Amino acid sequence: MESSSPTPQRHRPHPAWHVRLRSWIRYGTSVRAKLITLVLVVACVVVGALYWSASVSLRSSISGIYEQRARSVAAIISKSIEEKDYILYYSEQLDADIERLLERYASVVGITVVGESARGFLTVAGTDPTRIGLLATEPDQNLFTGLRSVEVTRTRIGGSVVLRAYHPVFVGPDLVGVVIVDMSLAEQARFITQLSWQFGAASIIGFLVLGGLLTFALRIIATKPVERLADAMGSVAKRDYEVEISVPFRRLPGTRARDEVGQLIDGFNLMTKVIHSHEQELKKLVVLDELTGAYTTDHLQAELERELNKTRRYKHPTSLLLVDIGGIESRSREERDDVLIRTANFLVGNLRNVDVLFRVGALRFASLLAETPPDGAAIAAERLRVRLSDITSPLGFPVTVTIAPVGWSGEDAPSVDEVIAKVVGSPEGQDE
């Protein structure tokens, strides 16, 4: 039974954002952009890992230097005390030693000498005269009692963090006091910040150099040949077979080809020559449309004769899709040809291998859907309508493409002449 009414379009939900994003990344960006992005990410990860490793090592080394400086200052005071034995009484010479160390090390903000007495550990000298004679707190008393070697810690004084070194003072085997040195970390922080900025600038330069070298290498090895292949494939899609991809260096005879890109270029050049030769022969045997490569109306008549006979005799369904192009009648010949070629390529790429495409008019195509009932033809038409933007979006002017299914599934199948008259009878179907 004939069915030629257009199928009402059903509402289709928009794809999810991640589906659109994947589609854009995969098809909306060039290979060159993908590879450059990958190269920059790899370069960023490599340089970033090196920067992090070097930064950690740098901070550790600088912290070690400042800890050693705090130990050295504490050791000088301790040695002076051990040599001159004035730990438990006030000494002007001890104060002089402290003043000299403060002048020598600008980062030292405090020096305190604690001596052991019968009441416990008390302050006997230091940069804070108000603390002289005061007993240490109970936690400090416990710390000083168990001190046997130099200890360096970080502590907070007021609103700033300082490096504090505890250096025990021994007279023989006996612990007689402790020298406490507080060192500001401001100089250390400035030094680390300065080196971090310098190393950061060097890392950015290294990132740009590494990324540039990798991008240049990939450009020569991969992206440039792929771009030439893509351009050549576009020419072949427009039925231009007089295209050949050149290579920068000729392969010497006997050299085994291991480069995949070179093999792809050689295979493409051979393929275009073979296709061109075969198409020339097909034009002689079957008569193909020279512009689009689709079969002509004469061949459609022969195919319809066979399929409609099977429909009438064996009840095998047969359907056609009629595709009309509108809105290009006033365009230039080159623009019309471009739309026709794009439409033919679209239909061939989105129909089944067994669905034969014919050009039956100046702006009309027909596709023969063998063994396909009218309902199946309607589904195929709807599937094509969803993808019509692949034809229209690359163009710089409006184009309309309409798709109408028509099919038969019984003895009432029309004659071939009736179908041909229907296919080419409308104004859109008239040949130029």
Q: pLDDT for 96-113, tens place per residue?
A: 777 777 777 777 888 888
Side chain identity at residue 306, one-letter code: R
Whole-angstrom distance, CA of residue 352 vs CA of residue 366: 14
Quote the pLDDT of residue 411: 67
Chain position carrying tokens 């771009």: 227
Quote the pLDDT of residue 432: 40
In 249-397, the DSSP E strands lie at 318-326, 356-359, 364-370
Domain map (residue ranges) of the chain = 81-188, 292-429
Whole-angstrom distance, CA of residue 214 vs CA of residue 208: 10
Radius of gyration over every alpha carbon of the chain, rounded to an integer in angstroms: 44
Whole-angstrom distance, CA of residue 278 vs CA of residue 291: 16
Quote the pLDDT of residue 69: 76
Specify the fold of 292-429: Alpha-Beta Plaits (3.30.70)
Quote the pLDDT of residue 365: 95
Q: Low-confidence residues of the chain, pLDDT below 50?
A: 1-9, 87, 427-432
Q: Do domains 81-188 and 292-429 have the same CATH topology?
A: no
Quote the pLDDT of residue 50: 79
Quote the pLDDT of residue 254: 57
Considering the entire predicted model, what is its pTM?
0.52
* DSSP secondary structure letter of residue 220: I
Whole-angstrom distance, CA of residue 12 vs CA of residue 69: 74
Quote the pLDDT of residue 7: 46
Quote the pLDDT of residue 82: 65
Q: Give the CA diameter of the chain.
A: 129
Burial of residue 172 (number of CB atoms within 10 Å: 0-12, 13-18, 19+) = exposed
Whole-angstrom distance, CA of residue 239 vs CA of residue 279: 10
Whole-angstrom distance, CA of residue 261 vs CA of residue 268: 10
- Computed over every residue of the chain, the mean pLDDT equals 79
Quote the pLDDT of residue 148: 84
The CATH class given to the 81-188 domain equals: alpha beta
Side chain identity at residue 408, one-letter code: W
